[in-house]
Structure 1
Amino acid sequence: MTDTDTDAGAEWRAYAGTTLPPILETALACFVEHGYHGTTIRTVASRAGLSVPGLYYHHASKQALLVALVSHAMEDLWRRSTAALEEAGDDTLRRLDLLVECLVLFHAHQRDLAFIAYSEIRSLTGDARTAYIAARDRQQRLMDHVVEDGVARRDFTTPHPREASRAIVTMCTGVSQWYRAEGEHAPPELAERYRAMVRMTVGAPTAV
Structure 2
Amino acid sequence: MVPPGREHADGSPVDWRSYDPPDLHPILAGALAAFYEHGYHGTTVRDIARRAGVTVPALYYHYANKQGILVALLEITVTEVNERAGAAVAEADDGPVPRFARLIEAVVLFMSNRFALAYLDTELRYLEPVNRRRYATLRKKLESLLVEILADGKATGQMTVDSPRDTARALLGMCQAIAGWYNPAGELSPTQIATRYVGIALQTVGAVPR
**Same fold per TM (> 0.5)?**
yes
Match of 1:53 in 2: 57
Cα distance, 1:186 vs. partner? 0.5
Matches within 5 A, 1:130-149: 130-149=133-152
The Cα offsets for residues 137-169 of structure 1, whole Å up to 9 and x where unpaired, read as: 222111111111101011112333332222111
Contact 1:161 1:202 in 2 (8 A): no
Cα distance in 2 for partners of 1:191, 1:89 equals 20
Q: State the one-letter code of the partner of 1:21.
A: H
Unmatched 5+ stretches in structure 1: none
Instruction: Report the secondary structure of 1:69's partner residue.
Output: helix
Match of 1:163 in 2: 166
Cα distance in 1 for partners of 2:139, 2:85 equals 13
Match of 1:69 in 2: 73
Match of 1:191 in 2: 194
Show structure 1 runs of 4+ deviating over 6 A. none
Cα distance in 1 for partners of 2:176, 2:102 equals 15
Instruction: Report the secondary structure of 1:157's partner residue.
Output: coil
The Cα offsets for residues 7-65 of structure 1, whole Å up to 9 and x where unpaired, read as: 967x1111111222221011010111111111111111112111110111111111110
Relative to total residues, which structure has the larger helix share, 1 or 2? 1
Instruction: Report the secondary structure of 2:193's partner residue.
Output: helix
> TM-score if structure 2 supplies the norm length?
0.90
Unmatched 5+ stretches in structure 2: 1-5, 7-11
In the alignment, is residue 152 of structure 1 matched against residue 151 of structure 2?
A: no
Instruction: Report the secondary structure of 1:159's partner residue.
Output: coil
Percent identity of the aligned residues?
40
Matches within 5 A, 1:21-32: 21-32=25-36
The Cα offsets for residues 56-93 of structure 1, whole Å up to 9 and x where unpaired, read as: 11111111100000010011111111111111114211
1:105 maps to which of 84, 104, 109 = 109
